[in-house]
Structure formats: structure tokens, C-alpha cells
Amino acid sequence: MRHRRRGRKLGRNPKHQRALLRNLASALILTERDAELDNNAPEVKGRIVTTLQKAKEVRPLVERCITIARRALPHQQAADKLEPNVERGTEKWRSWRNSEQWHEWNQTIAPVVAARRRAIKLLGDKKAVQILFDELAERFEDRPGGYTRILRLATTRLGDAGTRAILEFVGVNDRVRKAAVKPSFEEETEDADAAESDAERQTRDSADNTEEE
């Protein structure tokens, strides 16, 4: 029995399940990369198409990684203020490296380093982690959760008729709802009244002609 055992097996053993979720999460994040000269560029940025069950399983992992990057963002901003704008290896950089300000910067940047290491452990892709901390963390800085959405597709997968779904980041491909225009019947009423008056006039004229005859 599987009482109190969460999650889906997805027809795989535990190691294969973790590898599958890591690859799906990394694939979603890597769609945000700059792929102008890439032979395998994504069709739509911030979106992947998979089965509905896989999308529901990988969504918590993606949300957790973005939350880790969001919480490290204030520490990164504070560390950037302490870091001098000089080239690495120069005399000014070496003097800053041996100063007390470097120790303060080191203590400030430590939570960011720990967060990046944790994200690498969850995703297993350094490029995806770089995009996560450099782009997605700033994009969702003011959003407390709910970074992705799942949209079920009408067409099933060829071969096994599996239910397909879109997993994408919110805020990029949002659907804008437009209020329906309220129909106006004034012009139609005026046209109907004019048609009725013309019909009555023609009927009256035809009746007068009949009486004269």
C-alpha cells in the first residue's frame, strides 16, 4: 500500500524520477537563455510542453528554486554595493582584497554562494542556475510565489494519447481578458421604425389608388 506516500512514480525508479524532474526544470529555465545563434532555440521563451502529470510534479521544484534565488537577491544587491568597480588582479583590487571592506563583502556574499550551491544541487545545471539568479530572481522580486502556470492542451500526445500540458512562467505570455462590447439596439430600432413607416405609407397609397379606381 502507498498510504501517505506523496507524488507520482511516472513509471520510473526513484533515481530516474529525480533525474527526470531535474531535466524538466532545467529545460524550462534554459528556455530563457539568449538563443539567437543557437541551433536548438526554443519556440517560445519561458515555456515547455510535456504531459500533465509531469508538469504537476516538476512545478514545485521550479517554484522552490525561484524562491531560493529571490531570497538571495537582497544579499547580492548589498554585496554589489561593497564591491569596487575595478578590474580583477589590479593594484586597486589587491589593496581592496586585503582590506576590512573585503571581509564585510565576504560575509555579505556568503548567503548568495550558499543559495547558488543549493540550486546547483537541485537542478544540476550551472547555466540554468546562472539564468535563475541573474534574470528570474529580479523578474519575480515582488511576487510572493505562483511563478508558473499549467495549461492543459486539447490535443493528446501521438502514440499513447497522453494528456499534454504547457508549463510556463507567468508575466510573459499572459492572456489579456477584454470586456465584451455591449450591443447597441438603438440604430436597429430606428431602422425598423423607418421600414415600418415606409410600409404603412405604401399600403396607404395603394389603398387610395384602389378607391379612386
| Between 24 and 192, residue with greater pLDDT | 24
Worst-scoring range by mean pLDDT, 10-14, 111-115, 163-167? Answer: 10-14
Average pLDDT over residues 64-90: 92
- Counting runs of H as helices and runs of E as strands, what totals does the chain give? 7, 3
Yes or no: say if 131 and 29 are a contact pair by the CB < 8 Å rule: yes
pLDDT at 37: 73
3 state SS of 4: coil
- pLDDT range class, residue 161, cuts 50, 70, 90: very high
CA–CA distances in Å: residue 54 to residues 41, 97, 122, 160, 168: 22, 47, 17, 15, 13
Q: Please report which confidence band the pLDDT of residue 175 belongs to, taking 50, 70 and 90 as the band edges.
A: confident
Is the pLDDT at 154 greater than 60? The verdict is: yes
More confident residue, 77 or 37: 77
Do the Cβ atoms of 23 and 16 come closer than 8 Å?
Answer: no
Q: Report the chain's terminal Cα–Cα distance, integer Å.
A: 100
Residue 210 or residue 92, greater confidence: 92
- On the question of pLDDT at 151 being above 70, the answer is yes
- Give residue 102's identity as a one-letter amino acid code: W
At 13, list the grid cell: 525508479
Average pLDDT over residues 135-142: 93
pLDDT value at residue 209: 62
Question: For the chain, which residues make up each domain, given as ranges?
Answer: 14-169
As a whole-number percent, the residues of the chain with pLDDT over 70 amount to 88
Q: What is the pLDDT of residue 189?
A: 63
pLDDT greater than 90 at residue 177: no
Question: Percent of the chain beyond pLDDT 90?
Answer: 60
- Cα–Cα distance between 142 and 156 in angstroms, integer? 36
Strand spans (E) along the chain: 47-51, 148-156, 163-169
| 171 vs 192, residue with greater confidence | 171
Asked if 12 and 20 count as a contact pair (C-beta separation under 8 A), the reply is: yes
Q: Which of 33-37, 61-65, 120-124 bottoms out in mean pLDDT, i.e. has the lowest? A: 33-37
Q: Does domain 14-169 have CATH number 3.40.50.720?
A: no
Left if phi > 0, otherwise alpha if psi is -120 to 50, otherwise beta: which for 89? left
- pLDDT level of residue 157 (50, 70, 90 thresholds): very high
43 vs 57: which has the higher pLDDT = 57
Q: Return the pLDDT at 179.
A: 81
What pLDDT sits at residue 33? 87
